[in-house]
Amino acid sequence: MSAKHHGAALIDQMPSVHGRLEANAPLAKYTWFKAGGEAEVLFRPADQDDLSAFLAGVSNDVPLTVIGNASNLLVRDGGIPGVVIRLGSGFSNIGISGTDIIAGSGAADLSVARKARDAGLAGLEFLSGIPGTIGGSVIMNAGAYGFEIKDVCTSVRAVDREGAAHEIASDEMGFTYRHSDMPTGMIVTSACFQGIPGEIAEISNRMETIQNEREVTQPVRTLTGGSTFQNPPGYKAWELVDQAGCRGLRRGGAMVSELHCNFLINTGGATATDLEGLGEEVRRRVFEKSGISLEWEIKRIGSLGDKDVKEIGR
């Protein structure tokens, strides 16, 4: 049975929703890399109630994968089995209560930084340098310019596999470098952040400085996926990649950025296999040069065919 038939069969088993369900949905258009395969079924919930009702009604045997802005995500060419849940506009609200900023998981990090600025709340300027959404940023404890989510997050709201809502205090999240201990199966729906009263002009200046630095030092106007590898303790990933001679290295339509070599770029027509294979080649060369094994920061999800495995490993 073909993948498309699988998707058509699975969608018939889905509970009734207010949002949208789509079988065999191409995911490349949702990712910053503009590469990758299909979702067997794509679900875009209308809001948290719609998401909770869906989770309560869908079989526990159906695999679930959650995506947001997909800015730090590589969907493999074999696609994603089961249901992909994309949290979009129904989860993008941002509210202010005193010095608290409450943001939905689908809200862009930049939008949260701007909302805090407009309310005269400092401390969240670093979010303007992270090209993602709040849900993914919380899960991976995203950071930039000396700050991380754990520095400003006070609590997280999430729903479990059965659709029940939970509130989790920040100190229960197990935040470490680019990691959290969010239990498997929990889906972040919103998070609360603590701002510090400040002058709007000063906050704006800091955000402008961050934006200008990103423009100069990162390939922000290309098809990329953000930082590819985590910084090993005591090292910077980009320096290790550069020292291994990988700046500008290519595979198919994928290339290591010449501007910032901890970024992979789709130069046009790259497959997810090209991109992952290039990343693995960079890891191999860095290890040969320095003895340091780089860890992926980009999250790679989905299925690999036998051909893809061979291409990545070659």
Each residue of 118-175: pLDDT tens digit? 999 999 999 999 999 999 999 999 999 999 999 999 999 999 999 999 999 999 999 9
Domain boundary among the residues 28, 63, 89 is at 89
Judge whether 303 counts as a catalytic residue: no
Task: Give me the pLDDT at residue 5, please.
Answer: 53
- What is the reported pLDDT for 307? 66
Indicate whether 99 and 209 sit together in one domain: yes
- The whole-number pLDDT of residue 75 equals 97
Tell me the CATH number at 203.
3.30.465.10
Question: What's the mean per-residue pLDDT of the chain?
Answer: 95
Residue range(s) defining the domain that contains residue 256: 223-313
| Known catalytic membership, residue 297 | yes
pLDDT of residue 8: 77
Exposed/middle/buried for 126, CB within 10 Å: 0-12, 13-18, 19+? buried
**What CATH number does the domain containing 252 carry?**
3.90.78.10
Q: What is the domain count for the chain?
A: 3
User: Per residue in 201-254, pLDDT tens?
Assistant: 999 999 999 999 999 999 989 999 989 999 999 999 999 999 999 999 999 999
pLDDT tens-digit readout, 61-98:
999 999 999 999 999 999 999 999 999 999 999 999 99
Pick the catalytic residue: 44, 178, 251, 283? 178
Active site residue 2: no
206 and 256 belong to one structural domain: no
Cβ 75 vs Cβ 66: under 8 Å: no
For residue 7, what pLDDT is reported?
72
Catalytic residue (one of 38, 227, 257, 281) = 227
C-alpha pair distances (Å), 310 with each of 74, 79, 206, 278, 314: 18, 17, 46, 13, 6
Determine what percent of the chain is predicted with pLDDT higher than 70: 97
CATH at residue 33? 3.30.43.10
The phi-psi region of residue 303 (left if phi > 0; otherwise alpha if psi is between -120 and 50; otherwise beta) is beta
